Amino acid sequence: MNTLRRRRWLNLGLLGLAGGLAGLAWFTPDRESVTGPPLLNLAPALLERIRVERPGQQTLAFERRGEHWQMTAPGVGPANPVLINPILQLVEMHCPVRYPVGMVDLKTLHLDPPRLRLWLNDQEIRFGSTAPTDDRRYLHLADHVYLCPDRLYPLLSSSAAGFLAPVIEPLPPKAKSSD
């Protein structure tokens, strides 16, 4: 077998391997796109109130006023939509793993007492610790404990001042030049 023929077979083998890996990536379901019911049976448009109790930090409170959200505690003013939108999207999050409350030790998972409490309208969600294997966070909601992607806890435990929308001041009028 000459060198050119060997290289051709090697290239065909590598092409087949690359195609196989591409097919595997294409047809393997994403871990976060698992079907099933969303975390809450509530549309984001129906949310009117958000409250976040954070041990050792100030409680955050927000209210919907028309199409916009207002921060009502600890500061007062328009809420930063970039930070509010991820909270609103929590109701539609799919968490593939869930356990009945009776099957887990809430203290071990830091759910009793929780690290953080979030109220969406009157629905309480308790945030616990993260799973050591994949950085998913334990959430206690009603009679189940869910293992969910940890997208929200770092945001909810951040500085309260960041939740106020930045104020954009108008530019001062141009000073007339005296020529």
Among 19-23, 105-109, 153-157, which is the least confidently predicted range?
A: 19-23
**Most confidently predicted of 11-25, 104-118, 151-165:** 104-118
Q: Is position 80 within any domain?
A: yes
Strand partners, 164: 79
pLDDT at 36 over 90: no
Q: Report the pLDDT averaged over residues 74-93.
A: 92
The number of C-alpha atoms within 13 Å of 102 and in the hemisphere containing its C-beta is 0
CA 121 vs CA 12, 39, 64, 129: distances in Å: 59, 14, 11, 24
- pLDDT-based confidence at residue 179 (cuts at 50, 70, 90): low
Question: In angstroms, how far apart are the furthest CA atoms of the chain?
Answer: 89
Q: Is position 70 within any domain?
A: yes
CB 108 within 8 A of CB 145: no
Q: Is position 58 within any domain?
A: yes
pLDDT at 175 over 70: no
pLDDT at 27 over 80: no
pLDDT at 32 over 50: no
Parent domain of 106: 33-159
Mean of all residue pLDDT scores within the chain: 87
The pairing of strands 97-100 and 116-120 is unpaired
Q: Is position 175 within any domain?
A: no
User: How many Cβ atoms sit within 10 Å of the Cβ of residue 87?
Assistant: 22
pLDDT in tens, 53-66: 999 999 999 999 99
Q: Is position 25 within any domain?
A: no
Q: Report the pLDDT averaged over residues 140-146.
A: 94
Q: Report the pLDDT averaged over residues 7-32.
A: 76
Distance between CA atoms of residues 138 and 109, nearest Å:
7
Spell out a b/e string for 90-107, using b for 16 or more CB atoms within 10 Å of the CB, else e: bbebebeeeeeeeebebe
pLDDT at site 15: 84
- pLDDT-based confidence at residue 115 (cuts at 50, 70, 90): very high
DSSP 179: -
Q: Is position 97 within any domain?
A: yes
- Number of domains within the chain: 1
What are the strands of the beta sheet with 97-100, ordered from one edge?
77-78, 68-73, 60-65, 49-53, 116-120, 123-130, 136-141, 144-149, 97-100
CB 163 within 8 A of CB 83: yes
